[in-house]
Amino acid sequence: MTSITITRPDDWHLHLRDSEQLRAVLPYTARQFARAIIMPNLKPPVVTTDMALAYRARILAVLPTALQSNFEPLMTLYLTDNTPPAEIVRAKESGVIHGVKLYPAGATTNSDAGVTDMAKCYATLEAMEQNNLPLLVHGEVTDSDVDVFDKEKVFIDRILMPLTQRFPSLRIVFEHVTTRDAVAFVEQASSNVAATITAHHLLLNRNAIFQEGIRPHHFCLPVLKREIHRQALLEAAISGNPKFFLGTDSAPHSQANKENACGCAGIFTAHAAIELYATAFEQADALDKLEAFASFYGADFYQLPHNKDFITLNKENWVVPEQLEFAGERLIPLYARESLAWKMT
Ligand code: DOR
Ligand code: ZN
């Protein structure tokens, strides 16, 4: 195959940051995707409907003129121990907030204000269930005695499974799943539970973090896992099961913050997101499954219409830039200086 045309995709999990960093990274996403679920882990986090509306306005304000009306940010709230149920009603009524993000406190970048104990959120989760507002989950426990490679599996057993039993009608997106355990959990769960899969977790296993030295640009959370897990993710992605759909988790950090004695977690993939997914699907000989994964299943789960226009990818080698401009700093994209075989026209 030398060319593939698919319905324009959406990104169901994206970090855009704010201010000049937002201005720098937004065009990469808006060029490819019609919509994106925008993560609320800013400093300070987006905890109220008013904050989400203001953030949305800031995003739209820096959208390049050529892409105006071609890109819609789908906003989220950041769940805290103290998010009142009334905030859920306001969020739903806004019409522009499509989910509430659960970060276990301390799990990842800007998660300090996250949830310390699920029981503190029960009334709010009940309001989400009643108002049909999905919970978007960063699925890792934070206990320091749990091995970093087991944090997702332990989260399923201790937090997620009980949550689905207590709130059976709550719609849940298990974000960026990284293990075969997570795939199995989502498969056996009710139709209210779905998952996003990143391109980097489809393409890389944990060896990539230690290739001839330590590779900070391959460090993300949840951390890359063993090859058996990558295989399980790939099988889920190409299975045609509508519970699994595209979410890049593209997460920009400056080169200085990545190449650091305590480097930040996050892999930037927005510069080539759909191309990276095409690469993974092609390796699995399943390019025919890309469109539904990238353009239909997420919209269906979020109860939004499919996009009406199309994008085309050509089989064409191109070299990923060494670095990108990032608000006066440098941003190192995934596969910098390496060649990719697909290019969006
Ligand atoms: O790698 C990650 N980066 N994982 C997350 O959960 C957060 C994200 C970020 O915001 O940088
Ligand atoms: Zn994320």
Quick one: which atom of ligand 1 is closest to the CA of 266?
1
Share of the chain above pLDDT 90, in %: 97
- Rounded CA gap, 269 and 14, in Å? 10
CA-CA-CA-CA dihedral for 248, 37, 20, 310, to nearest 10: 70
User: Do 270 and 250 form a contact (C-beta atoms < 8 A)?
Assistant: yes
Cα-based distances in Å from 84 to 126, 133, 262, 270: 11, 14, 35, 34
Active site residues: 249
198 burial class (0-12, 13-18, 19+ CB within 10 angstroms)?
A: buried
Question: Nearest bound ligand to CA 247?
Answer: 2
Query: Quick check: 198 pLDDT over 90?
Result: yes
Closest residue by Cα to residue 217 from 38, 43, 337, 344: 337
> In which order are the strands placed within the sheet that holds 339-344?
3-7, 310-319, 339-344
Protein residues placing their CB within 5 Å of the ion ligand 2: 249
Residues 6+ apart with CB under 8 A from 38: 14, 15, 16, 55, 56, 59, 73, 74, 75, 76
Residues 6+ apart with CB under 8 A from 180: 228, 229, 231, 232, 233
Residues 6+ apart with CB under 8 A from 335: 272, 276, 320
User: Do 45 and 18 form a contact (C-beta atoms < 8 A)?
Assistant: no
Query: Quick check: 108 pLDDT over 90?
Result: no
- pLDDT digits 0-9 by tens, 321-333: 999 999 999 999 9
**Residue among 11, 13, 14, 15 to mutate when testing ligand 1 (max atoms within 8 A of CB):** 15
- pLDDT digits 0-9 by tens, 119-161: 999 999 999 999 999 999 999 999 999 999 999 999 999 999 9
Closest residue by Cα to residue 37 from 253, 221, 292, 250: 250
Closest residue by Cα to residue 296 from 194, 187, 222: 194
pLDDT at 201: 99
Query: Quick check: 69 pLDDT over 90?
Result: no
Please tell me whether residue 255 adopts helix, strand or coil conformation. Answer: helix
Query: Quick check: 40 pLDDT over 90?
Result: yes
Closest residue by Cα to residue 247 from 199, 284, 290, 279: 199
Query: Quick check: 218 pLDDT over 90?
Result: yes
At 226, phi and psi to the nearest 5?
Answer: -60, 160
Closest residue by Cα to residue 250 from 235, 229, 272, 233: 272
Q: Is residue 94 very low, low, confident or very high in pLDDT (cuts 50, 70, 90)?
A: very high
pLDDT at 75: 98
At 137, phi and psi to the nearest 5?
Answer: -115, 125
As a whole number, mean pLDDT of residues 239-255 equals 98
Q: Is residue 1 very low, low, confident or very high in pLDDT (cuts 50, 70, 90)?
A: confident
**H or E stretch at 57:** helix 49-61
Distance linking the first and last C-alpha atoms of the chain: 16
Closest residue by Cα to residue 36 from 46, 45, 47, 25: 25
**Residue among 41, 174, 206 to mutate when testing ligand 1 (max atoms within 8 A of CB):** 41
As a whole number, mean pLDDT of residues 34-60 equals 98
pLDDT at 109: 81
Domains of the chain: 11-309 (3.20.20.140)
- pLDDT digits 0-9 by tens, 167-188: 999 999 999 999 999 999 999 9
Share of the chain above pLDDT 70, in %: 100
Query: What is the gyration radius of the CA atoms in the chain, in angstroms?
Result: 19
Q: Where are the beta strands (DSSP E) in the chain?
A: 3-7, 11-14, 35-38, 72-78, 97-102, 135-137, 172-174, 193-197, 244-246, 310-319, 324-326, 329-331, 339-344
Query: Quick check: 282 pLDDT over 90?
Result: yes
Cα-based distances in Å from 345 to 5, 222, 297, 335: 10, 32, 24, 19
Question: Nearest bound ligand to CA 107?
Answer: 1
Pick the residue whose CA is nearest to atom 3 on ligand 1.
266
pLDDT at 224: 98
Q: How far is the CA of 242 from the centre of ligand 1 (A)?
A: 25
